[in-house]
Chains A and B, each alone.
Chain A
Amino acid sequence: MSEVLQISNITKSFRGNAQPAVQEASFSLKKGEIATIVGSSGSGKTTLLRMIAGLEIPEKGQIILDGKVINDTNIFIPPEKRNCSLVFQSYALFPHLIVRDNIYFGKNSSQNYDLIQNLIEITKIDQIQDRFPHQISGGQQQRVALVRALAINPSLLLMDEPLSNLDRELRLNVRTEIVSLLKKLKITTLIVSHDTEDALAISDKIIIIEEGMISQVGSPLEVFNVPKSCHIASLFGQSNFIPFENLDKKYKHFILNEKNEKVISVRPGQLKIVNELAVDEDLLCEGTILKICLIGLHKQLTIKCKQFVVNVNLSNLTDAIIGEKVKVVFKKNFFRYN
């Protein structure tokens, strides 16, 4: 597959801020790939997206879209001449235009009549075409913004926090709809999100950005299972950081702190407890159950081992008693990426 977007060493600073908003960012996207930039607030993810859209000018670095340089030291193609479209977090629908006029607003969109009709049908917004944006629901507004962005047949679709304004139930529906639509149309898409659950659900590739720097790029499972830092591991939920020195050297590890302590990240759901060790099971440690906490459909056990404390998630049906001696072993799914 050919690369649609190539970003090399992009840097951007804002006046008054000592640290650059984005620093030496590099990654690429292949045709039809859906990637999500994940990071906490102020990490620079939206700035990066706006630079690709042409709404911010980078200080240095290069952006290539469809094989054409759109940003370089002496080149800046303005947003209206780039073949990429952006779905804004607040959707930015034109409030004085009805849905149909919003959709057909983009450059040359009238030439894409068949594509637009197809999109309207898939997204089920044909009944609301004569309404104004304030007369439709949040989910419908989201779909209209998406269809408007796709109506100009862009090489690259950019989406800034596309699901953040929707309630949980609607978000799950829209999330599924978006992924199936983008996959069907084979649209290369770059999404910005602070929600790791969304990122894991919709992406082919996840790009982690921390304090303006890209710290990890990989598939959702890779990033989830083998994070490159404590921060990345924590972004995707609770994790145990187990000292590497006592483990089998086959595990992928990272450096925890300035003292060069090496650890591996193991999610509570990737561990289980046994009384007797089977032949194909890898023992992590032996210890005593300190605490049992009920969390919805599962219970979390806090187990004190010799050198560390570890959390393990078990089904509610599993019996466990505080003070009981147990063996903590890795589940099979842990080894897929380790």
Chain B
Amino acid sequence: MFRVLKNEILFKLNGWTFVSFIIGLFIIIPIAFVAIQFNNSSENWHHIQENVLYKYIYSTLILVLGTGVLSVFFGVITAWIISFYEFPGRKLLEWGLILPLTIPTYIAAYSYYDVLETFTPLMLWIRNNISFSAMNLFNDFMVYFVTIIVLSSVLFPYVYLSTRASFLMQGNKLIESAKILGHLPGQIFWNLILPLSRPAIVAGLSLVIMETLNDFGAVEYFGISTFTTGIFRSWMGMDDVGSALRLSSYLMFFVLLLMYFEKRMRGNAKFDQNDDSSLTHKRLVLSSSKSKSVLVICLVPLMLGFIIPVIRLSLWSISASKDFFNIELMQIRFNSIGLASFSSIIIVIVSIILLFSSKYFSSQIIKITNQFAVLGYSIPGAVIAMGILLVSAYINDITNIIITGTISSLFIAYLIRFLAVSSQPIDSGLEKECSQINQASRNLGKTAFHSLMKINLPLLKKPIFVGAILIFIDVFKELPLTLILRPFNFDTLATLTYDLNKQAQIFDASIPALIIIIITTIPIIFLNKKLERKS
């Protein structure tokens, strides 16, 4: 430990590592500030603890469990069908199944706003013929049931994508060996393919859980009290920042616990057999009747998560009072595009600086600060927003500089939340493309800046582009962070959709919702095509 510190300070400290360390700290501090609020005392805490904390825990756990199980079910089944069987429409479904990712959870919820109403006659019947409490119980059950289906139908592609990639990477040799040893296709799937894909399924599932915990719009709309809605209610409803912070810190520990279990479950397992034979993965051609069955199975989550919401929103948009090219809407569209584009640029630049410094100078300290800095993606937006509010208040006290309610606080929040999104492709690009040639460049006497400009950036064009597009999509859809930290009178398409729905202006809300879907669908299809071509 002492030796590492000595090497870092004496031999590796330079402009690059110093700046990276400061940026890393800057990103970590708001999260760390929330983490230490677990004992924060506030006037309403006693009330929260006595009356609603249990409900927050209970609701959050039910949602996480239900959404997790259903997403794994949808994701694994569709990945299995797409990877191992050939049937008419397979190619279309292969990329079509990722489209639900373009629908933010809150928009999916709005598009099913009236589903619960269809159960009203049944509920009245239960009240009249059984009891009032039985009706309440059934109502609660239906609310959770519908919310879980809505969330799973738009989040399952995380499991689908990781599992499909794992299925395709598994060497044909293994499958052929199992066949030679007398195993039937079903046995091969359960005893070989599924266990081998466990790390990928867990990785996809963890993303589903993080997104469920992050969701605010959908759960608020269906009236479920989760930790995230609790944070909003404490801060905005009760004006109690202390309780909001304490809830945030509890939620953060819950997320960290989940991450720990995820890591334990995945361990160092990496079972993919990346040999040449995987490229000749043979799909079983299905008969006409079986083709129809698997087509229906794949279409169910796609209908629920994309086709039905888009059709309903499109139909509502015809009745909207404003059209797509309304001036006010253009301004808001400009806000969203500007915010997403500028955030992409800033976050990608920060990712490059942090990752390049860590790898180029083999700095352990920067590697550690980077690992903490990318934690933001796992932490719900509401928690990050509380951290930024807290740090902003301290800065305001000390320097009189106001950060809260400015665009800069939004950029900082997006940086903390989405740094991991661009870091992942850039990091693997650096590792794969530049690791040894950076050493060669240093060895040939070139400076770090020269190596970055002449070697790394030209070679990392693709990962940088992918990272930037992914951030653009995420920021464009983002709701909870933007809702808490946006400047006064500043709207994005996401906040406008939320506000209009809150005012029950379903038809008008469909226009910004559709714009979000259209603008995020284009880059997702483009990225998928690019990745397909690469593979």
Residues of A participating in the B interface, judged by any CB pair closer than 8 Å: 53-55, 57, 59, 74, 76, 78-81, 84-86, 88, 90, 92-96, 105-109, 148-149, 152
Contacts and interface: CB of A to CB of B under 8 A. Distances in A.
A53 B441 CA distance: 12
Interface string B331-373: 0000000000000000000000000000000100000000000
9 contacts: A76-B7, A76-B11, A78-B442, A80-B444, A85-B443, A93-B437, A105-B441, A105-B446, A149-B444
Nearest 5 Cβ contacts at the A-B interface: A107-B445, A106-B444, A92-B440, A76-B11, A79-B442
B400 interface: no
Given A76-B7, A105-B441, 9 more contacts: A55-B442, A80-B445, A86-B440, A94-B437, A95-B437, A95-B459, A106-B444, A106-B445, A149-B444
A227 B524 CA distance: 64
Main secondary structure of the interface of B (DSSP, over half): helix
B7 A92 contact: no
A117 B355 CA distance: 38
Contacts of B407: none
Contact of B442 (A80, A94, A152): A80
Nearest to A158: B443
B129 interface: no
Contact of A107 (B10, B11, B437, B444): B444
A86 B447 CA distance: 16
Given A57-B11, A94-B455, A96-B458, A106 B436 contact: no
Nearest to A78: B442
Nearest to B436: A92
Given A59-B3, A76-B11, A53 B443 contact: yes
Given A76-B10, A80-B446, A105-B446, A88 B459 contact: no
A140 to B, nearest CB: 17
A98 B11 CA distance: 34
Most chain B CB atoms below 10 A, which of A78, A94, A149, A152: A94
Contacts of A86: 439-440, 443
Most chain A CB atoms below 10 A, which of B436, B437, B443: B443
Nearest to B459: A96
Contact of A90 (B3, B362, B436): B436
Nearest to B11: A76
Contact of B446 (A59, A92, A106): A106
A44 to B, nearest CB: 18
A179 to B, nearest CB: 22
Given A76-B11, A94-B455, A95-B459, A55 B445 contact: no
A107 B7 CA distance: 26
Contacts of B362: 55
Interface in B397-440: 433, 436-437, 439-440
Contacts, number: 67
Interface in B33-87: none
A148 B444 contact: yes
Contacts of A88: 436, 439-440
Contacts of A85: 443-444
B461 to A, nearest CB: 9
A96 B440 CA distance: 14
Nearest to A89: B436
A117 to B, nearest CB: 18
A81 B437 CA distance: 17
Contacts of B3: 59
A91 B7 CA distance: 28
A85 B455 CA distance: 18
Nearest to A101: B454
A220 B40 CA distance: 73
B186 to A, nearest CB: 42
B447 to A, nearest CB: 7
Contact of B445 (A57, A92, A108): A108
A269 B345 CA distance: 69
B460 to A, nearest CB: 11
Contact of A55 (B11, B439, B446): B439
A304 B362 CA distance: 58
Nearest to B433: A95
Most chain B CB atoms below 10 A, which of A88, A109, A148: A88
Contacts of B445: 80-81, 106-108, 152
A14 B440 CA distance: 22
Nearest to A95: B459
A162 to B, nearest CB: 14
Interface string B273-294: 0000000000000000000000
B443 A79 contact: yes
Contacts of B439: 53, 55, 79, 86, 88, 92
Contacts of A107: 444-446
B250 to A, nearest CB: 34
Contacts of B437: 92-95
Contacts of A54: 442-443
A55 B360 CA distance: 10
A105 B442 CA distance: 11
Contacts of A76: 7, 10-11
A80 B458 contact: no
Contacts of A96: 458-459
A253 B189 CA distance: 62
Contacts of B444: 80, 85, 105-107, 109, 148-149, 152
Contact of B447 (A53, A80, A95, A105): A80
Contacts of B455: 94
A79 B11 CA distance: 11
A59 B459 CA distance: 34
A57 B443 contact: no
Nearest to B445: A107
A85 B445 CA distance: 9
Contacts of B454: 105
Nearest to B438: A92
Nearest to A85: B443
Contact of A80 (B11, B433, B443, B459): B443
